[in-house]
């Protein structure tokens, strides 16, 4: 598999190199030189999830890694269920929160961990990533205890739920967490600055586990195939899929799936009040505003890093950006959507509720849609309990961290301060 840097197309790397580097020159994103297509989609959709995922990822990686290696990576990474649940007459939720950290990020993080464990072997690797909520827990869990790999997670202090925070800040060992006194975009900027600094990048063998890493995107493609496979068991048409969107890695993976041949009618990019993309799709002007804190905090991203990949896919496939519908959802509408789903018997949290709202706003009466359930409702228990006036029972994964002590270091959003901290904890 060959990938090129979207900012510097002359920089061409293999998948192995892209996984290890994370970002290209000048923070450029790696993008595949070609997108594989799958034949006989119906037969592929008829396979069980793990077997199908071997074929989907094998289409990208078998020529470089060998199909046996791909099979082994998939089997180790994907060992939990992902049911498609009918939430209403025309709405289905693909529940992606049945993994170890109760969020969709488990798919990409676990596959990336297996890739680095396989491909880097005895090399020393330090991973630096930023999280707006669920990435931190998924990455920390996936890499916790792996030899020769250290992880540093930056997150905006006070802007993620306490349970989200405790899932990745209480581990210790090779997991180092930093509470930054700023918003997620500032955390992401610090990560990007670190990759631009040769002292840090080269001296600390730096890698990134955000959705900018291509290995995570390949893993996420697989659950779109599963969504459609389950949908087709009781429906003859193609679904509309609404994606709750923050950094836009999730939508990128969905578009890759469609490019490979997955029958999806169209995609909806659903955001909260941080609606840079919906506004851009509406008027063609890219005008990020200051990040707004919302109840769907994992999507509080004003400048999504993966958007260049979205445009690259559209260009490569000769599609139109007009084929993607952008919907920004207010706080009031988010609350109403959580209530509306609960009224029909489906318990949701704000992120999925935003995608469900976008579907209801955008579908015609004869269409059906799938929204992605990206996190367990209990991860946002304070919001859900307040909106619905109920009390949620905590799943075991959350109950186990309630009483644990947060081990984070608190820092200002200052690059020099972060640089000193990284060398202090990683250069050993």
All structural domains of the chain, each given as residue ranges with its CATH number in brackets, are 82-101+214-388 (3.40.50.1100), 124-204+403-427 (3.40.50.1100)
pTM assigned to the model: 0.90
Q: What is the pLDDT of residues 339-384, one digit of tens each?
A: 999 999 999 999 999 999 999 999 999 999 999 999 999 989 999 9
Q: What would the 3-class secondary structure string for the chain be?
A: CEEEECCCCCCEEEHHHHHHHCCCHHHCCEEECCCCCCCCHHHHHCCCHHHHHHHHHHHHHHHHHCHHHHHHHHHHHCCCCCCEEEEECCEEEEECCCCCCCECHHHHHHHHHHHHHHHCCCCCEEEEEECCCHHHHHHHHHHCCCCCEEEEEEEECCCCCHHHHHHHHCCCCCEEEEEECCCHHHHHHHHHHHHHCHHHHHHCCEECCCCCCHHHHHHHHHHHHHHHHHHHCCCCCCCEEEEECCCCHHHHHHHHHHHHCCCCCEEEEEECCCCHHHHHHHHCCCCCCCCCCCCCHHHCCCCCCCHHHHHHHHHHCCCCHHHEEEEECCHHHHHHHHHHHHHCCCCCCHHHHHHHHHHHHHCCCCCCEEEEECECHHHHHHHHHHHHCCCCCCCHHHHCCCCCCCCCEEECCCHHHHHHHHHHHHCC
Q: What is the pLDDT of residues 101-122, one digit of tens each?
A: 999 999 999 999 999 888 877 7
Whether 104 and 97 have beta carbons less than 8 Å apart is answered as yes
pLDDT (tens, 9 = 90+) of the chain, 428 residues, equals: 999 999 999 999 999 999 988 888 888 999 999 999 999 999 999 999 999 999 999 999 999 999 999 999 999 999 999 999 999 999 999 999 999 999 999 999 999 999 988 887 778 889 998 887 778 888 899 999 888 889 999 999 998 888 889 999 999 999 999 999 999 889 989 998 998 898 998 899 888 777 788 999 999 999 999 999 999 999 999 999 999 999 999 999 999 999 999 999 999 999 999 999 999 999 999 999 998 989 998 899 999 989 999 999 999 999 999 999 999 999 999 999 999 999 999 999 999 999 999 999 999 999 999 999 999 999 899 999 999 999 999 999 889 999 999 999 999 999 999 999 999 999 76
């Amino acid at each position: 598999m060959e990938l090129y840097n979207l900012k510097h197309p002359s920089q061409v790397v293999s998948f192995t190199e892209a996984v290890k580097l994370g970002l290209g020159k000048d923070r450029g994103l790696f993008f595949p030189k070609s997108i594989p297509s799958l034949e006989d989609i119906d037969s592929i959709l008829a396979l069980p999830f793990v077997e199908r995922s071997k074929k989907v990822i094998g289409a990208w990686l078998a020529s470089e890694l060998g199909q046996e290696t791909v099979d082994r990576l998939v089997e180790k990474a994907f060992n939990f269920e992902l049911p498609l649940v009918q939430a209403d007459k025309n709405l289905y939720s693909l529940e992606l929160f049945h993994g170890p950290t109760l969020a969709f990020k488990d798919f990409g993080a676990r596959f990336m961990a297996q890739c680095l464990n396989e491909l880097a072997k005895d090399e020393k690797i330090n991973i630096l990533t930023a999280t707006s909520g669920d990435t931190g827990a998924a990455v920390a869990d996936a890499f916790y205890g792996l030899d020769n790999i250290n992880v540093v997670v930056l997150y905006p202090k006070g802007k993620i739920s306490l349970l989200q925070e405790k899932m990745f800040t209480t581990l210790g060992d090779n997991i180092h967490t930093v509470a930054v006194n700023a918003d997620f975009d500032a955390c992401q900027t610090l990560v990007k600055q670190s990759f631009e600094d040769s002292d840090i990048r080269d001296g600390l063998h730096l890698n990134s586990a955000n959705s900018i890493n291509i290995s995570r995107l390949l893993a996420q493609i697989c659950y779109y195939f599963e969504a459609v496979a389950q949908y087709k068991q009781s429906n003859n048409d193609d679904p509309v899929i609404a994606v709750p969107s923050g950094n836009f890695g999730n939508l990128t993976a969905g578009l890759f799936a469609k490019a490979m041949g997955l029958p999806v009618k169209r995609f909806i990019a659903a955001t909260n009040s941080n609606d840079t993309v919906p506004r851009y799709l509406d008027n063609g002007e890219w005008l990020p505003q200051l990040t707004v804190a919302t109840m769907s905090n994992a999507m509080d991203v004003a400048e999504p890093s993966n958007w260049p990949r979205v445009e690259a896919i559209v260009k490569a496939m000769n599609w139109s950006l007009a084929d993607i519908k952008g919907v920004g959802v207010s706080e009031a509408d988010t609350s109403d959507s959580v209530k509306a789903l609960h009224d029909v018997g489906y318990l949701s949290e704000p992120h999925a509720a935003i995608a469900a709202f976008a579907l209801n706003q955008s579908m015609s009466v004869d269409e059906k849609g799938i929204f992605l359930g990206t996190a367990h409702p209990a991860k946002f228990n304070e919001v859900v309990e307040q909106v619905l006036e109920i009390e949620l029972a905590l799943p075991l994964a959350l109950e186990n961290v309630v009483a644990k002590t947060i081990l984070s270091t608190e820092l200002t959003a200052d690059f020099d301060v972060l640089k000193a901290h990284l060398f202090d904890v990683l250069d050993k």
